Amino acid sequence: MLRIQTFVTNLLQENCYVVSDDSGEAVIVDCGAYFEDDYAALQAYIVREHLHPVRHLLTHGHFDHCFGAQWVEDTYGLKPEVSQADAETYYLQPRQIEQFLHRTFPLSLPPLGQTFMEGDVFRFGNGHTLNVLSVPGHTPGGVCFYEESEGVLFSGDSLFRASIGRADLPGSDPQALITTLKTKILTLPPQTRVFPGHGSETSIAFERLYNPYLSATP
């Protein structure tokens, strides 16, 4: 069985996930840890559960989802991995911080590890897989990670509970975001649990009914 632990990190309340199973292998999704308390909480959980992180996967390259990338590399030897189409977004994080927060923050960006694309599959643990679904719109290369056997989707900032990601940012495309969510994400099984980049968990069934930006059918 998949175990999912959520950590709400940094000043933007970003959701970082540690995903594991009884093998002890773990995948870190979107480590936005910035404060010492963020690092301590993550490390304490990983130690307590006897986990061995094997990948650090990013749903997209915005700074609030990557603040902890250097810490993950320093602590676990894992380079961040992002879609090919979002590699440039990743390296533009210092500019993003100035644009969004109107100030600078100390930020150490490790070089990216491998990049990936639609259809790639990450295997870990006892037969678990994270399938890459390309969902451009919030950023050019935003993705979701889908674990089909357990009915779990990590949606980053593409889909939130009763909302969708911002599409008024540099490199965003509102029509692409809405179209892809309708045709690729809302068509997943209704019981699929959705773990977004901010806010609370939702489901495909709930979003079909109550998301004002999307309709029940493509």
pLDDT digit string (tens) for the chain, length 218 residues? 999 999 999 999 999 999 999 999 999 999 999 999 999 999 999 999 999 999 999 999 999 999 999 999 999 999 999 999 999 999 999 999 998 888 888 889 999 999 999 999 999 999 999 999 999 999 999 999 999 999 999 999 999 999 999 999 889 999 999 999 999 999 999 999 999 999 999 999 999 999 999 974 44
Do residues 107 and 93 lie in contact, with contact meaning Cβ atoms separated by under 8 Å?
A: yes
Q: What's the rounded Cα separation, in Å, for the pair 173 and 33?
A: 27
Cα distances from 150 to residues 49, 66, 119, 172, in angstroms, run 20, 26, 18, 30
The edge-to-edge listing of strands for the beta sheet with 14-20 is: 3-9, 14-20, 25-29, 52-57, 80-83, 115-116
